[in-house]
């Protein structure tokens, strides 16, 4: 016999939550508001008519599948049916992806791919700094996490406090661990504790400024270091992560290629991308402090920064502090690793022309460029709809303007006459 209380909870759960047969995604209702503070939830707020929501549907199913064995429950809520939920979580657009734990709420702004979404949920489902207590865990960790921060030493002291606070700020974006010298020994021997490093692409990179005695300075240095190190050496740059990359305050060196819908890149573009990657892979120590490399698969992102249609493939360097950009003079086909290195040196010594920036004129021009590009792509996609959407209101608007600024010619003649008679009256007087 199942105890009554258990049965009750069980049925309650199924009244609130009924899982659709083919997927592990829970279809939730407004009853969710009563239960969401228990446990960890990754929730997609959607509207049935929203095309972007439909597009991530298969991804969402995979995410639910991947998180099936974790503590995170994956669900979705139709906000057009359950408006109270949308209201409660202050949902402004669809789809909105939220991670909820207790009273905390995190909005997901990254790439809507399974891997990124799963990592986001896993990071947030644990404490900001997770402890690693077994040597074997590191083997799994290295396999499953392409990038993580590790603090080796006891959980006390100034560096620990700062590390823990930083971890809670960056928790949605990176994995943070803590362990002890004996556990880490085999993987990354440390001379003295505390030690702090980041693991990525099978290498360790040390944090070396422990000896800073001023607490605020140490805090600032550590934040800068985490910010500079929390990206892979050559990430794919998208609308989802470009804002995070701008926080590095480095120059972003981007190889621009175009991916097909099936995420395939033509061979000559792939070759170009690999060539750019080879520059940073070979000379990481030389460039790492001032340049963050990466590649872009959708040229529109770069077009709107450069305010022009960049050729494909091509190379662009963006100063993430000032938003200025640099474009090599050589044709992209003629670029070699050597030419790129020269170009980067010229940027550092400010010997190449820079374009764009953050000035008001540039910002206005950029908005105009974006509107124009959006219109052009709309026109290419559906000329009739574009005409109806913009043609009709524009037609009305021009009629109204015409009536305001160009009064009827007959009226104008009347006015003239009035004035003339008026003035003749005055003259007469």
Strand partners, 195: 152
Closest CB to ligand NAG among residues 157, 422: 157
In angstroms, rounded to a whole number, what is the distance separating the alpha carbons of residues 395 and 246? Answer: 41
Mark 11-40 with x for binding to ligand NAG (rule: CB under 6 A) and - for no binding.
------------------------------
Residue 211 beta carbon to ligand NAG: minimum distance, rounded to whole angstroms: 4
Contact stretch for ligand NAG (CB under 6 A) within 39-47, 66-74, 141-149, 213-221 = 213-221
Strand partners, 18: 27
Residue 229 beta carbon to ligand NAG: minimum distance, rounded to whole angstroms: 13
- Sign of the Cα torsion 47, 50, 53, 58 reads positive
Contact stretch for ligand NAG (CB under 6 A) within 59-67, 94-102, 135-143, 210-218 = 210-218
Q: Check whether the bond before 102 is cis (ω within 30° of 0).
A: no
Closest CB to ligand NAG among residues 26, 190: 190
CA distances from 272 to 171, 227, 422 (A): 34, 28, 78
Closest CB to ligand NAG among residues 91, 195: 195
Residue 204 beta carbon to ligand NAG: minimum distance, rounded to whole angstroms: 6
Closest CB to ligand NAG among residues 195, 305: 195
Query: What residues have CB less than 8 Å from 274, skipping those under 6 apart?
Result: none
Residue 259 beta carbon to ligand NAG: minimum distance, rounded to whole angstroms: 27
- Structural contact between residues 378 and 385, judged by C-beta atoms closer than 8 angstroms: yes
Closest CB to ligand NAG among residues 30, 165: 165
The answer to whether residue 212 forms part of the interface with ligand NAG (CB under 6 A) is yes
Question: Which residues 257-316 are close enough to bind ligand NAG by CB under 6 A?
Answer: 290
- In this chain, which of 20, 71, 168, 206 binds ligand NAG, going by CB under 6 A? 206
Closest CB to ligand NAG among residues 247, 378: 247
Closest CB to ligand NAG among residues 169, 371: 169
How does strand 96-101 pair with strand 72-78? unpaired
Closest CB to ligand NAG among residues 220, 416: 220
Residue 216 beta carbon to ligand NAG: minimum distance, rounded to whole angstroms: 6
Residue 327 beta carbon to ligand NAG: minimum distance, rounded to whole angstroms: 16
CA distances from 63 to 24, 26, 49 (A): 9, 12, 22
Residue 180 beta carbon to ligand NAG: minimum distance, rounded to whole angstroms: 14
- In this chain, which of 34, 144, 201, 220 binds ligand NAG, going by CB under 6 A? 220
Contact stretch for ligand NAG (CB under 6 A) within 204-212, 259-267, 270-278, 301-309 = 204-212
Question: Which residues 340-399 are close enough to bind ligand NAG by CB under 6 A?
Answer: none
- In this chain, which of 101, 123, 250, 273 binds ligand NAG, going by CB under 6 A? 250
In angstroms, rounded to a whole number, what is the distance separating the alpha carbons of residues 226 and 56? Answer: 31
* Whole-angstrom Cα Rg for the chain: 29
Mark 306-325 with x for binding to ligand NAG (rule: CB under 6 A) and - for no binding.
-------------x-xx---
- In this chain, which of 171, 219, 314, 323 binds ligand NAG, going by CB under 6 A? 219
Residue 132 beta carbon to ligand NAG: minimum distance, rounded to whole angstroms: 17
Find the angle CA(370)-CA(372)-CA(374) to the nearest 5 degrees: 70
In angstroms, rounded to a whole number, what is the distance separating the alpha carbons of residues 240 and 243? Answer: 7
Residue 295 beta carbon to ligand NAG: minimum distance, rounded to whole angstroms: 19
Mark 153-192 with x for binding to ligand NAG (rule: CB under 6 A) and - for no binding.
------------x------------------------xx-
Closest CB to ligand NAG among residues 32, 199: 199
CB atoms within 10 A of CB 125: 18
Judged by the rule CB under 6 A, the positions of this chain that interact with ligand NAG are 165, 190-191, 195, 206, 211-212, 216, 219-220, 223, 250-251, 290, 319, 321-322
């Amino acid at each position: 016999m199942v105890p009554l209380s258990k049965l009750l909870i069980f049925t309650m759960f199924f009244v609130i939550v009924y899982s659709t047969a083919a997927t592990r995604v829970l279809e939730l209702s407004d009853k969710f508001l009563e239960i969401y503070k228990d446990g960890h939830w990754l929730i997609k707020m959607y509207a049935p008519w929203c095309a972007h929501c439909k597009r991530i549907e298969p991804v969402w199913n995979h995410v639910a599948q991947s998180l099936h064995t974790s503590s995170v429950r994956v669900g979705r809520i139709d906000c057009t049916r359950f408006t109270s939920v949308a209201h409660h979580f202050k949902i402004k657009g669809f789809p909105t992806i939220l991670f909820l734990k207790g009273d905390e709420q995190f909005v997901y702004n990254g790439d809507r791919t399974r891997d990124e979404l799963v990592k986001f949920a896993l990071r947030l489902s644990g404490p900001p700094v997770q402890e690693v207590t077994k040597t074997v865990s590191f083997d799994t960790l290295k396999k499953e996490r392409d990038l993580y921060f590790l603090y080796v030493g006891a959980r006390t002291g100034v560096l620990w406090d700062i590390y823990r606070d930083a971890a809670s700020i960056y928790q949605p974006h990176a994995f943070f661990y803590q362990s002890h010298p004996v556990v880490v020994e085999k993987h990354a021997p440390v001379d003295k504790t505390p030690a702090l490093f980041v693991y990525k692409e099978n290498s360790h990179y040390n944090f070396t400024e422990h000896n800073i005695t001023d607490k605020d300075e140490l805090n600032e240095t550590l934040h800068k270091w985490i910010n500079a190190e929390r990206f892979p050496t050559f990430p794919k740059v998208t609308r989802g992560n470009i804002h995070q990359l701008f926080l590095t305050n480095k120059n972003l060196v981007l190889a621009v290629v175009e991916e097909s819908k099936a995420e395939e890149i033509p061979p000559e573009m792939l070759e170009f991308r690999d060539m750019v990657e080879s520059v940073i892979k070979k000379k990481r120590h030389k460039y790492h402090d001032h340049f963050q490399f990466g590649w872009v698969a959708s040229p529109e992102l770069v077009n709107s920064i450069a305010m022009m249609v960049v050729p494909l493939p091509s190379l662009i360097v963006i100063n993430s502090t000032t938003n200025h950009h640099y474009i090599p003079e050589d044709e992209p086909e003629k670029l070699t690793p050597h030419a790129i290195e020269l170009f980067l040196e010229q940027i550092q010594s400010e010997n190449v022309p820079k374009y764009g920036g953050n000035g008001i004129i540039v910002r206005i021009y950029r908005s105009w460029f974006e509107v124009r590009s959006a219109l052009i792509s709309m026109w290419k996609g559906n000329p009739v709809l574009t005409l109806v959407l913009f043609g009709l209101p524009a037609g009305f608007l021009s009629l109204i303007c015409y009536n305001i600024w160009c009064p009827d010619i007959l009226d104008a003649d009347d006015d003239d006459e009035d004035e003339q008679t008026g003035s003749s009256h005055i003259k007469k007087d």
